[in-house]
C-alpha cells in the first residue's frame, strides 16, 4: 500500500495560500495546521470538541486528551500543543467558535455539524487536488509531522508516543527518508 506524501515547506505554503481563498478559510487553515503540527489522524480531528482545546475561562489547553473513542487504536492518548499551534487554534476559536459550547464540534461543516472521518478525508483530498499535489492525503500532515521531528533527531520512541503508536516499527514506516535527512545524519559523524 502506497504511503501518503510528505509535504515540503513550499508545498505546505501553497496549500495555506490556497485555503486562504476558500469560503471557510479560517476553519480549513486551522484543520491543515492542526494536522501538520500535531500529527493527528483525520478521524481524531473530526472528533474534536471545543472543550478538548479550550479549558476553563476560555484558556487554550497545552494538550488535548483524546479519549479511547477518538483514536484509531481505542487507546486514550495526549496530543501536545506547541506554541505555533496554540496561536493558530486561538485565532480560529476567536473567529469561528464565539457562539460554541464546549460540547460542540471544534471543526464544523457547512451545515454546522461535526465532520465525520470520511468527510474530513475528502476535505484534505480536495485541497491537495486543487493545489496539484499528487499523492497527498489526510495522512500527509501526520507523516510530515513525524518526518520533520525525525529530521531534528527526535528519537523514534518519542515519535511513537507522540503518534500514538504502540510499536516503534509502525512509527519507523512513517518516516520519509529524503536527502535532507541523510545530509543531516552524515553531518553528525
Q: What is the pLDDT of residues 76-88, one digit of tens each?
A: 999 999 999 999 9
Cell 489526510 identifies what position?
138
3-state secondary structure of 105: strand
- 86 Cβ neighbours under 8 A, 6+ residues apart: 60, 62
- Stretch 39-58: mean pLDDT, rounded? 95
Task: Output phi, psi for 140, to 5 deg.
Answer: -65, -40
pLDDT confidence bin for 184, thresholds 50/70/90: confident
3-state secondary structure of 4: coil
pLDDT in tens, 162-177: 998 888 998 888 888 8
Residue 86 has which C-alpha cell?
Answer: 496554540
The predicted structure's pLDDT at residue 147:
92
- Report which of 15, 42, 26, 20 is spatially closest to residue 143, judged by C-alpha positions: 42
Which top CATH class is 9-133? mainly alpha
Domain range summary for the chain, segments of one domain joined by +? 9-133, 141-187
- 126 Cβ neighbours under 8 A, 6+ residues apart: none
Helical (H) or strand (E) element with 130 = helix 117-130
* Cα–Cα distance measured from residue 25 to residue 164, given in angstroms and rounded to the nearest whole number: 29
* Cα–Cα distance measured from residue 140 to residue 128, given in angstroms and rounded to the nearest whole number: 10
Cell 543531516 identifies what position?
184
The predicted structure's pLDDT at residue 1:
57
Amino acid at each position: 500500500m502506497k504511503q501518503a506524501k510528505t509535504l515540503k515547506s513550499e508545498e505546505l505554503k501553497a496549500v495555506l495560500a490556497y485555503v486562504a481563498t476558500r469560503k471557510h478559510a479560517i476553519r480549513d487553515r486551522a484543520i491543515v495546521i492542526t494536522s501538520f503540527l500535531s500529527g493527528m489522524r483525520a478521524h481524531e480531528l473530526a472528533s474534536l470538541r471545543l472543550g478538548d482545546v479550550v479549558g476553563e475561562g476560555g484558556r487554550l489547553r497545552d494538550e488535548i486528551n483524546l479519549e479511547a473513542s477518538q483514536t484509531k487504536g481505542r487507546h486514550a492518548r495526549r496530543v501536545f500543543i506547541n506554541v505555533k499551534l496554540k496561536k493558530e487554534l486561538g485565532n480560529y476559536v476567536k473567529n469561528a467558535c464565539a457562539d460554541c459550547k464546549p460540547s460542540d464540534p471544534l471543526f464544523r461543516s457547512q451545515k454546522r455539524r461535526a465532520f465525520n472521518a470520511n468527510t474530513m478525508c475528502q476535505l484534505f483530498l480536495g485541497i491537495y487536488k486543487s493545489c496539484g499535489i499528487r499523492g497527498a492525503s489526510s495522512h500527509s500532515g501526520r507523516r510530515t509531522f513525524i518526518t520533520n521531528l525525525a529530521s531534528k533527531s527526535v528519537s523514534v520512541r518519542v515519535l511513537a508516543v507522540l503518534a500514538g503508536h504502540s510499536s516503534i516499527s509502525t512509527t519507523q514506516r512513517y518516516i520519509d527518508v529524503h536527502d535532507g535527512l541523510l545530509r543531516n545524519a552524515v553531518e553528525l559523524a
